[in-house]
Structure 1
Amino acid sequence: MYNVREMLNSFSQGLEKLTETNKQNVAAFSRLLSSTYKPGALDTKTKELMSVAIGVYSRCEYCIVYHCYKALESGATREEILESAMVSVAFGGGPSMAYTSTLLSECLDEFEKDFK
């Protein structure tokens, strides 16, 4: 069982701490994220759903946690998030299914209540 809230906070705090010694690199990463997730031809919600799928496919636990939260924040539903994850299962097979049925499900159970 994961503590997804702790993982989300740990990631954010880790970036802050890393800024102390690598300010330019963290700032560049933050600018990249900010630019990438701005609405354009695709809205932010769609980009976050894509990010959930990519996180599940690549088995990046912190990516799954962060982008599940951001997808919910951008208005995605549980059904949309799970459906996007299932696309990654079509490419990633069993490992992607394992992360969808465990970590992603726990993220949804924990974070959904923040946006209701």
Structure 2
Amino acid sequence: MSDTVMPKPTRAMAEQRRNLAPEAEAAFQAFSQAVFKEGALSRKTKQLIAVAVAHVTQCPYCIQGHVKGATNERASPEEIMEAIWVAAEMRAGGAYAHSCVALGTLNDLKASK
């Protein structure tokens, strides 16, 4: 990953972000801790979901962080890759499903001639 496009996060950046909006930062941190704690879903499952979502949202920082998080929760490389493939299928499935919008438009255009 190029530092010119996506700078490497630093402690100084984290402090700057916190200092610029301390209440929002604290709220986000509390929210994140609440979301990823053990619950009806295991911490491992939540991290695998996060890996998949990070690939759909295409956030390199989230990909790195949640792959590390999933690994820390004992997810195997195979489980992580499978989660990524689920994300890829869902993203492709969205394009496939939305083709109905294009087909509907084409049908409307044909009917209006």
Tell me the TM-score normalised to structure 1 length: 0.69
| CA-CA distance at 1:16 after TM superposition | 2.7
Aligned to 1:83: 82
Equivalent in the alignment of 1:24 = 23
Q: Distance in 2 between matches of 1:44 and 1:12?
A: 26
Residue in 1 aligned with 2:58?
A: 59
Query: Which residue identity is paired with 2:9?
Result: S
1:75, CA displacement in angstroms? 1.1
2:47 equivalent to 1:48 = yes
What residue ranges of structure 1 are gaps of 5+ in the alignment? Answer: 94-116
Q: 2-side partners of 1:51 and 1:12: how far apart? A: 23
Q: Report Cα offsets for 1:18-53 as digits up to 9, x if no partner.
A: 111211100000000000000000011100000000
What's the C-alpha RMSD, in Å, of the aligned pairs? 2.1
Shift of 1:17: 2.1
When structure 1 is superposed on structure 2, of 39-48 and 13-22 the one drifting more is 13-22
Greater C-alpha radius of gyration = 2
| Contact kept in structure 2, 1:11 and 1:62, CA below 8 Å | no
Alignment of 1:92-107 (within 5 A): 92-93=91-92
Counterpart amino acid of residue 14 in structure 1? M
Alignment correspondent of 1:68 = 67
Which residue in the other structure is 2:33 paired with? 34
Of structures 1 and 2, the one with the larger relative CO (CA 8 A, separation 6+) is 1
Closer, same or farther: CA 49–11 of 1 in aligned 2, 3 Å: farther
Residue identity in the other structure for 1:35: A
Which ranges in structure 2 are unaligned for 5 or more consecutive residues?
Answer: 93-113
Q: Identify, as 1 or 2, the structure richer in helix.
A: 1
